[in-house]
A = this chain, B = another copy of it.
Amino acid sequence: MFTSEILCVGDELLSGITINTNAYWISQKITEAGGSVRRITAIRDDVDEISWGVRDSISRKPDWLILSGGLGPTYDDKTMQGVARGLSLELALDKTALDMLKKSYARHSVTYELNEIRLKMAKIPIGSNPIQNPVGSAPSVLIESGETKIVCLPGVPEEMKAIFLESVLPQMKKIIGDFHIVESRYETIGVSEAMLAPILSEIVESNPPDSIYLKTHPLGYTSDNNNKKPQMLVQIVSKGKDKAEVQSRFNNISGMLLEEISRLNGKIV
C-alpha cells in the first residue's frame, strides 16, 4: 500500500464549468495499482492557494502528491510558481525542459518564436525533474520533497493521462507489484440500508483494512403503492496482492451478503 493525495488547480473546477474527471481518473488508476488516495482538493488559480495546498499536503507525508492543471502559458497558469513558493524553491529556466518544449513544437511541425510567454513553460523549480509532454507543450515535473514525490501534470485530460500512464503509473506499480481487484454490484429489492447495516459492520470489522470496500446506495422505492419496497445498489470490492485470497474473500463476502438479503426477505434483481 502506498498513500497519495490529488491537488487539482483551476477556477473552472470551482465554478461548475468543468467536472473534475481528472481526479476521478487518477484516483481510479492509483487504486488499481494498489495505492490509496487520501484526499482530493480542488483549488483556485492562485499562487498562495497552490503554495498552501502543497505545504498542507506534504505535512501529511503521502508517498505521492499529484497536481493537475495550471502548467500552460496563460495568465491563470500558476502551478509552477505556487509549487516553488510552497517548497521554498526558486524558479529557473531549465535546459532539459526547454529542449522538451522545443521537441513538442517540432512534433506538431509548428515553428514558434520562444518568447517570454512560451519560455514560462520551461521555468521550473530548481532541483525538479522535467518530464516530456507527449501530447501538448508544457513539460511536467517531478519533485522529491522529504518522503513525498510531487508530480505536476497538465490539466488538459489527454496530456495529463499520457504523462501519468507513461511516467507516473509505472513507478507506482513497482511499489506494490501485482495487485488484484474483484468487484461486483447487485440491485436489490426489499432490503433497506438500515437493514443491511449490521452485517456490513460485521464484515468490515472482520476483514483487514483496505482489503475490502462495501457500500449500499439507496435507489428509492418500488412504485407499487400498496406494498412499497426499498431498492438498493450493493457494491462489493475485494482487493490485495494475492489473487486467490482476493477471490476467496470476495466469495465469502458475497455469500454472507446474499444469505442475509435472502434471510431479510429481500431479493437480487
Binding site for B on A (CB under 8 A): 11-17, 19-21, 23-32, 36-44, 49, 72-76, 108-110, 112, 115, 117-118, 135-137, 156, 158, 192-194, 196-198, 200-201, 204, 213, 215-218, 220-221, 225, 228-230, 235, 237
Contact = CB atoms under 8 A, between A and B. Distances in A.
Contacts of A40: 13-14, 20, 41-42
B43 A109 contact: no
A136 B218 contact: yes
Contacts of A41: 39-42
A24 B28 contact: no
Contacts of A29: 16
Contacts of A75: 197, 200-201, 204
Given A14-B38, A197-B117, A156 B20 contact: no
B110 A15 contact: no
Q: What is the copy number of this chain in the assembly?
A: 2
Given A16-B31, A215-B76, A225 B23 contact: no
Interface of chain A: mostly helix, strand, loop or mixed: mixed
B200 A74 contact: yes
A192 B14 CA distance: 25
A40 B21 CA distance: 14
Contacts of A220: 135, 158
A250 B233 CA distance: 46
B16 A19 contact: no
A38 B44 contact: yes
A215 B41 CA distance: 21
A72 B193 contact: yes
A226 to B, nearest CB: 8
Nearest to A222: B108
Contact of A73 (B32, B118, B193, B237): B193
Given A40-B42, A216-B74, A230 B110 contact: yes
A25 B31 contact: no
